[in-house]
Amino acid sequence: MEPFAPEELMVGDASNTDGFIQDSRVLPLPSFDDFAQRDATKQAEARASRRVERASTEPTEPLSKPEQARERLLELLTFDTIDDRPQDEEPYGLIARLIGRGLPNKAGVYYLPYLQTGHMLLLASLLLSSLISYPGFPLTEVPDEYRALLLEGLGITFLINAFVAVYARGVALAKEEPALFWMAKCLLFGGLALGELTQAVPEPRRQTRGAGGSARRQ
């Protein structure tokens, strides 16, 4: 086979070749700025995902002491969960009210009777020291200025307990409990008795709709 002559290699039209090169679509090569922008986008997405993971796994900040006290007070004064009691719960009878049975802790110990007994002993000691003067016994030989301070403190305490007793009357009536008894107990023990009334004393059984509801309406 004879080799092509130089003249035979130039049969194509140069104008056609230029048109083909101009019409062809060629993708531009990425620059260093494109790579840097892509890396920055990936880093920003990674930081955002880490922030979301930390926000979902980090524990909530503990409440401060005033916030804890406020939450505790709201729990004492909230009656929305009183109906959520066990079905086989024993009624809160007269003996339970007198001794202040309350509710057991996680270990099953009824600690409220001990607190109530301690309050009674402390009140008796304060009244003995502030009202009776008798030589020969340490509790009855308190100086007069100390007696005045004790009586002032007892007066402030019973004044606060009086407001607690008025509030306890509405709670006792709502639970169909003897209002005068709980008012007297709250006047004597204050928040200790109010906590017993709101937490330990269940509400009366609510009759279901239907036959029970019709019998109640009759």
Predicted local confidence at residue 218, as pLDDT: 42
Nearest-angstrom CA–CA distance, 101 and 92: 9
Predicted local confidence at residue 207, as pLDDT: 46
Query: How many separate domains does the chain show?
Result: 1
What is the pLDDT confidence band of residue 81, given thresholds at 50, 70 and 90? very low
Percent of the chain with pLDDT over 70: 67
Question: For the ranges 45-54, 58-67, 98-107, 114-123, which has the lowest average pLDDT?
Answer: 58-67
Is the residue at 115 inside a domain?
A: yes
pLDDT tens for 144-185 read: 899 999 999 999 999 999 999 999 999 999 998 999 999 999
Is the residue at 213 inside a domain?
A: no
Is the residue at 18 inside a domain?
A: no
Closest CA to 171 of 160, 162, 183: 183
Is the residue at 64 inside a domain?
A: no
**Dihedral (Cα; 121, 123, 126, 129), 10-degree rounding:** -60
Closest CA to 92 of 110, 106, 80, 74: 110
Statement: residue 130 has pLDDT above 80: yes
Closest CA to 193 of 151, 150, 154, 160: 160
**Cα 213 off chain centre by:** 35
Is the residue at 111 inside a domain?
A: yes
Is the residue at 147 inside a domain?
A: yes
Statement: residue 86 has pLDDT above 60: no
Helices 179-189 and 144-174, packing angle to 10 deg: 150
| Residue 197 belongs to domain spanning | 90-201
The most confident of the ranges 44-48, 72-76, 77-81 is: 44-48
Statement: residue 217 has pLDDT above 50: no
Q: Is the Cβ–Cβ distance between 169 and 183 less than 8 Å?
A: yes
Is the residue at 70 inside a domain?
A: no
Statement: residue 14 has pLDDT above 60: no
